[in-house]
Chain A
Amino acid sequence: MERVYLDNNATTLVDPKVKAAMDPFFCEMYGNPNSLHTFGTETHPYLRIAMDRLYTGINADDQDDIIINSCATEGNNTVLKAVYFDLICGGRKNHIITSQIEHPSVINTCKFLENLGVEVSYLPVNKDGIVDLATLKRYLNPDKTALVSIMWANNETGLIMPIKELSEYCKGNGVLFHTDAVQAVGKLRVDVSEVAVDFLTFSAHKFHGPKGVGGLYVRKGVKITPLLHGGEQMGSKRAGTVNTPFLIGMGYAMELAIQNMQYEEMVVRKLRDKLEDAIAKISDTEIIGSRENRTPNTILVSIRGVEGEAMIWDLNQQGIAASTGSACASESLEPNPTFVAIGINKELAHTGIRLSLSRFTTEEEVDYAAIAIEKSVKRLRSISSTYK
């Protein structure tokens, strides 16, 4: 059976070139980079290259920090909790702004901080699924707001938030700005010199690097209390032995992603649009969000009369990996909060399915998926009690 992976917003395959680059650091150059002997120091040139690639990748200044950590969840936790420790505890500010469509690592950390007495505002999205400046202006209070945390691109819809506008407004009001750029890095041009972000998080496995390694960008001069205390790694800003092979893998994955940005923008987008057009031809389907303002690889579609879990089950039977935010597909029976927040149609929380491509997706795979999707919709609608 054909196997087609269209769930690249969940995770991606590790580029074989990346895997090969990591390989020598498991059994040959396995020294601890903090050791003084050659086993440790011989890794340094490779680690420096990896760091250079990451700094270049997001165009960070050498005076800024990119703290290497375990994942974007760690990065998001670090920022939110550091702001709590550094600015809110004992300070006069006691307010954090985020949005209703953030990743659980932001939303649930904010809820945790709420239990500690922090006031948190969860911004709604506008009719286009975007957190806009007008909304931020209504909630931001320069005297009280310590941090604004808005994702660069949404994982479900692929919709891109106006980070430049939002971050500059915060800067102008002396409020720190964080963006979870997990879905943007590797798919879109992310240049920290063009936006006024103080913190930015990313994760290697979303751009064909290994799982379990990520980065946290911190602009020069911004204080950040570590989440993990311990040794002096990462300038004492993130303790724990540096994961040499994974850091090297992430660096190379970043470079490859930047090299492939043009391909992503042209070819992946074209394939995505082809698949999207095919789906849009099926009657009573609704694609969420405008094409131009989305990451080039993502489609979120609501298919009337077809429940999301049944749909991805059916697609899985045909070898296709997709995802849904339907309540029926979650361990907790909770519908995906992004689907609820967008609320473009009420059924979206139950009918939305997401297809996400990568630079490894082929045209044959897209063609196969288009046929399979149509087949599944037909079958499930023939069973459906709500579709005529």
Chain B
Amino acid sequence: MPKNDLIGGSLWEQYSNKVSERMNNPLHRGEILEEEAKALGAKLIIADWGAEACGDAVRLYWAVDTNTDKIIKATFKSFGCGTAIASSDMMCELCLGKTVDEVIKITNIDVEKALRDEDGTAAIPPQKMHCSVMAYDVIKKAASLYKGVDMESLEDGLIVCECARVSLGTIKDVIRINDLKTVEEITQYTKAGAFCKSCIRPGGHEKRNYYLIDILKEVRAEMEKEKTQKYVEPKDFKSMSLVQKLKSVEKSLEAEVKPMLVADGGNLEVVDIRDNEGFSDVFVRYLGACRGCPASHTGTLYAIQNYLNEKLDKSIRVFPVE
């Protein structure tokens, strides 16, 4: 465990100054009344997300100019922890002056980035990213109300990790492409599971439809299955790998050559096999009576090579070694 993690209680120390300031004094808190929206010549949208019993609830108010689809005022109310309040406040700021289509693209990660004091240093600790997800969801809700469409139609695919907005498709692709074998690797590659950790396995902070461990298991199983299906027996000796070549040479020698040598009190072993400019060079060592027998370098050797050429492939050459 990293040195800094051994002493706990650092939750608040990891909040950026911007987060603290907005927790203490959110600039866009409050509601927009119907009359106010009317005075602005705008349409009032009120979107709710979450519930007190779940620990997080947010209400987003928009005054939208119907001619331009631009959000001219955005405020919020929130039952939530400090980071939820700060994220909601920043979310409102990011909505201002943008069209509804533009704000749909805002993610919780955009909100987090806007709350950073400096690039490269996260505004909130990983487990609190979860709280900023509310901002993302409530924007979608508000946009769907304004457009009079289903919220689902604004979603881009099945989201597995709400905190890091990682879709099922992305996770499956990353596992395949990078041959990932552990959940930790998925997190390293995608950030999925890095924050509230609910999506890693059942029993976390929140119940999910998909869990990383299940997805990993499923994709790995698919990959294994594909692997075994993909293995096709090579048609001829030339297209074999060295291992297969060695195996088939030994098999052939065992079948007919060795018994003959053994009958004369000798034997041989295959020492190596190498590919050499279109030839397969087989190196053999004679044993027993074959050692020192003059024929072993002439007649017997040719007989063995001819036998292999005939049985397996013409490209085989046999060389004796000491």
A interface, CB within 8 angstroms of B = 305-310, 313, 316-317, 326-329, 331-335, 346-347, 349-351, 382-387
Residue in B11, B54, B79 whose Cβ sees the most chain A Cβ within 10 Å: B79
One of B8, B29, B52, B84 near A331 (C-beta < 8 A): B8
Q: Is the interface of B mostly helix, strand, loop or mixed?
A: mixed
Q: Are A347 and B53 in contact (CB under 8 A)?
A: yes
Instruction: Write out the residue numbers on chain B whose beta carbons fall within 8 Å of the beta carbon of A331.
Output: 8, 11, 127
B160 at interface by CB-CB < 8 Å: no
Bound together, the chains give a CA A220 to CA B155 distance in angstroms of 67
B interface, CB within 8 angstroms of A = 8, 11-12, 23-24, 26, 29-30, 48, 51-59, 76-85, 127-128, 130-131, 196-198, 204-205
Q: Are B53 and A385 in contact (CB under 8 A)?
A: no
Instruction: Write out the residue numbers on chain A whose beta carbons fall within 8 Å of the beta carbon of B59.
Output: 385
Q: Are A327 and B23 in contact (CB under 8 A)?
A: no
Q: Are A385 and B58 in contact (CB under 8 A)?
A: yes
Residue of B nearest to A328 (CB): B81
Q: Are B55 and A326 in contact (CB under 8 A)?
A: yes
Q: Are A385 and B12 in contact (CB under 8 A)?
A: no
A383-B11 CB under 8 A given contacts A333-B130, A335-B55 = no
Residue of B nearest to A335 (CB): B55
Bound together, the chains give a CA A385 to CA B141 distance in angstroms of 16
Q: How far is the CB of A4 from chain B (nearest CB, A)?
A: 18
Residue of A nearest to B83 (CB): A328
Q: Are B26 and A383 in contact (CB under 8 A)?
A: yes
Residue of A nearest to B11 (CB): A331
Q: Are B55 and A332 in contact (CB under 8 A)?
A: no
Instruction: Write out the residue numbers on chain A whose beta carbons fall within 8 Å of the beta carbon of B54.
Output: 350
Q: Are B55 and A350 in contact (CB under 8 A)?
A: yes
Q: Are A305 and B79 in contact (CB under 8 A)?
A: yes
Instruction: Write out the residue numbers on chain A whose beta carbons fall within 8 Å of the beta carbon of B11.
Output: 329, 331
The 8 A-B pairs of least Cβ separation, nearest first, read A328-B81, A385-B77, A309-B81, A385-B59, A333-B205, A386-B79, A350-B55, A386-B52
20 more contacts with CB within 8 A, not counting A328-B80, A350-B53, A386-B51, are A305-B79, A307-B55, A309-B82, A310-B81, A313-B81, A317-B24, A326-B55, A326-B81, A328-B55, A328-B56, A331-B11, A333-B196, A333-B198, A333-B205, A347-B52, A350-B52, A351-B52, A383-B77, A384-B78, A385-B77
Q: How far is the CB of A206 from chain B (nearest CB, A)?
A: 18
Bound together, the chains give a CA A317 to CA B25 distance in angstroms of 12
One of A307, A313, A316, A327 near B79 (C-beta < 8 A): A307
Bound together, the chains give a CA A329 to CA B29 distance in angstroms of 22
Q: Are A327 and B55 in contact (CB under 8 A)?
A: yes
Q: Are A307 and B205 in contact (CB under 8 A)?
A: no
Bound together, the chains give a CA A307 to CA B51 distance in angstroms of 12
* Contact sample, A vs B, 16 pairs, CB 8 Å cutoff: A307-B81, A307-B84, A310-B84, A313-B23, A313-B82, A316-B12, A327-B55, A327-B205, A328-B56, A333-B197, A350-B52, A383-B29, A384-B78, A385-B48, A386-B51, A386-B52
Q: Are B23 and A385 in contact (CB under 8 A)?
A: no
Instruction: Write out the residue numbers on chain B whose beta carbons fall within 8 Å of the beta carbon of A309.
Output: 81-82
Residue of B nearest to A317 (CB): B24
One of B29, B30, B48, B205 near A334 (C-beta < 8 A): B205
